[in-house]
Amino acid sequence: MDHEQYLGDTLTQVAMEKAGIIKNRVPVVSGVADDDSGKIIKQTCHDHQTPLFLYGRDFEGISNDNYHDHWQYNGFNKVTLAELPLAMKGNYQVGNASLALAAVQLLQEQRYVITEEQIRTGLARTRWLGRLEYFRLNNQGEIVDSHANGLQFLLDGAHNPAGVTALKHALEDEFSYARLILVWGSMADKDLQTTLLEIAPLADIIIFTRPEYERSATADQLRDTLPDAMQQKAVLTSSVRQAIDKAREHATPDDLICIAGSLYLIGAARQLLVGELITDG
């Protein structure tokens, strides 16, 4: 669920809007769940006589339990690619990459020349700024090796329930730290309570802030969504810069500073930390 004010407030309504991209007899690759949204996608494909290639049914990705940065793609027509690289964090990226490779398979059937070497190189080089993006900064503000001295940062644009759940699982399964210092800012029209309460119990300190955008919730509004018992670990700030400064004050090299809750927050924070904006395209 996201953008409910435009797409509708049920999975069925959202799926109907998303299904508008489906065209007659043009293959569809989808990772849609087996719920109301899945029914809409399947029915729309049927109505348009469109072949549907569904993740978990026609193709899949399997994570390597021993090496989180390698996985296996099992495609349709008995295609298998093993020991594939994956540069991005988050177990859900295996599913995303599988969707991409299914699309590649369909292009190959249309006589596009895409080699296995190109696939492996593309996967190894792909990164998504602001999505489970980890780095360590030294006292001079330079990105250094993960084992070097400096503060650890994790930037994630999670801003809806599904995204925050993915962030929670990554924090529990893929990162090690002494304390979690959470810097959080959200848009006021988001499901503040559901998203924040998903991640807040993991945090030792929560620093609320407000990105410079008219839809942003205030730090007070965010704090007030927490149960009384959790509000004692909240720190209120009036700007993204002040929030980052507070996080630096509290953090040690063994702690993890996680900045999340809004793409606007991530964009502002990333520019302050590494001097690079996240842009579309």
Residue 242 has pLDDT above 90, yes or no: yes
Range in 59-68, 175-184, 218-227, 239-248 with the lowest mean pLDDT: 59-68
What is the model's pLDDT at position 226?
93
CB atoms within 10 A of CB 241: 13
Q: For residues 278 and 264, give the distance between their C-alpha atoms in angstroms, rounded to a whole number.
A: 9
Residue 67: pLDDT band (50, 70, 90) is low
Which residue intervals of 126-186 are DSSP H helices? 161-173
Look up the pTM and report it: 0.82
Q: For residues 145 and 150, give the distance between their C-alpha atoms in angstroms, rounded to a whole number.
A: 9
Tens digits of residue pLDDT in 71-126: 999 999 999 999 999 988 888 899 999 999 999 999 999 999 999 999 999 999 99
SS3 (DSSP) at 80: strand
Residue 278 has pLDDT above 60, yes or no: no
The pair phi, psi for residue 184, each rounded to 5°, is -130, 135
The CATH superfamily label for domain 133-274 reads Mur ligase, C-terminal domain (3.90.190.20)
Q: Can you give the C-alpha Rg of the chain in angstroms?
A: 21
Tens digits of residue pLDDT in 23-66: 999 999 999 988 999 999 999 999 999 999 999 999 999 987 76
Residue 277 has pLDDT above 70, yes or no: no
Give residue limits of the domains in the chain.
Answer: 4-125, 133-274
Pull the structure tokens for residue 185: 């800012």
Q: What is the 3-state secondary structure (H, E, C) of 230-250?
A: HHCCEEECCCHHHHHHHHHHH
What is the CATH number that goes with domain 4-125? 3.40.1190.10
Does residue 74 or residue 191 have the better pLDDT?
A: 74
What is the model's pLDDT at position 276?
66
Tens digits of residue pLDDT in 120-140: 999 999 988 999 999 999 988
Residue 216 has pLDDT above 80, yes or no: yes
Residue 177: pLDDT band (50, 70, 90) is very high
